[in-house]
Structure 1
Amino acid sequence: MKTIIHKLDDGSDAVILPREMLNNLNLQVGDQLQIIETDDGITLRPVGGDDFERQMHAARDVMDKYEVALQKLAK
């Protein structure tokens, strides 16, 4: 995959990763990445530690979305 370095309004630069890549890596807005320089370029690695919080957030989203169905199933 290819991407382009973009200039932001504040004068800084940004690399935008394709949505498909983020989905494949299970990355979401707000996730942190570690940038590692190598002899061949760079490696991006997710910073762990928030897996539990992310799972809880996802569970809350599902419960909110399917609240009525879950209440019916609970009876």
Structure 2
Amino acid sequence: MKLKIVSVGNSAGVILPKDVLDHLKLEKGDTLYLRETQNGYEVSPYDPDFDEYMEAARIIMRENRDALHRLAGHDD
């Protein structure tokens, strides 16, 4: 898909077609994440690094469930 860079005040922007916004489940005002990959740049509606951090947190919480319960004051 070919997109044109347009002026937005003193900045520049890219206009995304409605079908792209619909596919990504995005609306005006939402945040997009731009990430450099080996094949160029990738745009996504979420931060893939955040997903990695959350998965690591889930693993830690699962592995340390008992200690976390004690720290939270749940001695049952």
With normalisation by structure 2, the TM-score equals 0.52
Q: Are 2:43 and 1:44 aligned?
A: yes
User: Which whole-Å CA distance do the structure 1 matches of 2:5 and 2:16 have between them?
Assistant: 10
Larger radius of gyration: 2
Partners of 1:13 and 1:41 in 2: how far apart? 19
Give the aligned length. 47
Distance of 1:39 and 1:47 partners within structure 2: 19
| Root mean square deviation, CA, Å | 1.6
Q: What CA distance in whole angstroms lies between the structure 1 residues aligned with 2:44 and 2:4?
A: 19
CA displacement, residues 2-42 of structure 1 (integer Å, 9 cap, x when unaligned): 2101122x221101111111111211112111110112221
- 3-state DSSP class of the match of 1:23? helix
Question: Residue in 1 aligned with 2:53?
Answer: none
- CA distance in 2: counterparts of 1:47 and 1:24, whole angstroms: 13
- Report the identity percentage: 38
CA distance in 1, matches of 2:38, 2:46: 21
In structure 1, stretches of 5+ residues that fail to align are 49-75
Structure 2 residues without counterparts, runs of 5 or longer: 48-76
